[in-house]
Amino acid sequence: MELNTIYNESCLETLKRIPDGFLDITVTSPPYNVNLGNNKYNDFGYDEYNDNIPFGEYIDMLEECFYGVKRATKEGGRCCINIGDAKNGKVMTHVAISNFMIGMGWVPITTIVWEKQNISNRTSWGSFRSPVNPSFPTPFEYILIFGNGTDRLQGEGSTDISKQEFIENSLAIWRFNGENSSVTDHPAAYPIKLPYRLIRQLAWSGSVVYDPFMGSGTTAIAAKLAKCSYIGSEISAHYCDVAKRRIAPYFMQQELFSDI
């Protein structure tokens, strides 16, 4: 398995070639199944993926992916899943994911609430000034964190994380803005700060980081900044090209990531 490579294919194909116990940490944000490109909040959708499939089929797809990730992850290795619930919390996707992860043997470590400081859908009131069926817009997402078989990282390694950085990351409410899609040419990219913090807090330097839904390369950039290697899977050839274009400048222009 070649490191520092994004494979233009389904994660299920990539995972077939990753040896057992090869990965140290997975950091990813899978599609949310919220009909991107066709809902009233976002008219910019994926180019290769249908983000509006039956919920059971969607959960089955994710379960198959993370079963493969578990096999390929070292004992005690971590898996971090950034996910948002659909329909202002009525579709509790994070609960469904947590249930199947625990069922297959992942051990819960924590759930971080990422407050995106974005209330663009604040006018979604539901039954305005009435208790009949009010809506509760959700300007936050979840980061579900699991360990493979144990919540303790196995083995030994090194890290240069500072005291201040460790303390800041350890609070389970993270407050920073989301990513601008015009920067990434992707409808649902997360900011580099999110995977960078997770890798720094949960893995040794030199770890192998995997993202089964790599998109425009954000996890790959974060992994290299955290002195780690990466492997990615992405079904869109376009996003693979975007990722390759994004990765190189980050190691030449330090100001691009001065705030992470």
How many percent of the chain have pLDDT more than 90? 67
pLDDT of residue 117: 72
User: Which one, of 47, 11, 41, lies nearest residue 29 by Cα?
Assistant: 11
Do residues 155 and 180 lie in contact, with contact meaning Cβ atoms separated by under 8 Å? no
Better pLDDT: 179 or 58: 58
The pLDDT tens digits for 37-58 are 566 556 555 666 676 789 999 9
What does pTM read for this prediction? 0.90
Q: What is the mean pLDDT of residues 179-199?
A: 79
CA dist., res. 64 & res. 101, Å (int): 10
User: Which one, of 29, 23, 198, 20, lies nearest residue 109 by Cα?
Assistant: 198
The pLDDT tens digits for 195-220 are 999 999 999 999 999 999 999 999 99
The pLDDT tens digits for 118-142 are 655 556 778 887 888 888 888 899 9
> Is residue 102's pLDDT more than 70?
yes
C-alpha gyration radius of the chain: 18
Distances (CA, A) of 229 to 25, 89, 183, 211, 251: 10, 35, 23, 11, 14
Do residues 19 and 65 lie in contact, with contact meaning Cβ atoms separated by under 8 Å? no
User: Which one, of 102, 91, 72, lies nearest residue 212 by Cα?
Assistant: 72
Q: Report how far Cα 28 is from the mean position of its chain's Cα atoms.
A: 3
Q: Which residues contact 256 (CB under 8 A, 6 or more apart)?
A: 249, 250
CA dist., res. 255 & res. 167, Å (int): 24
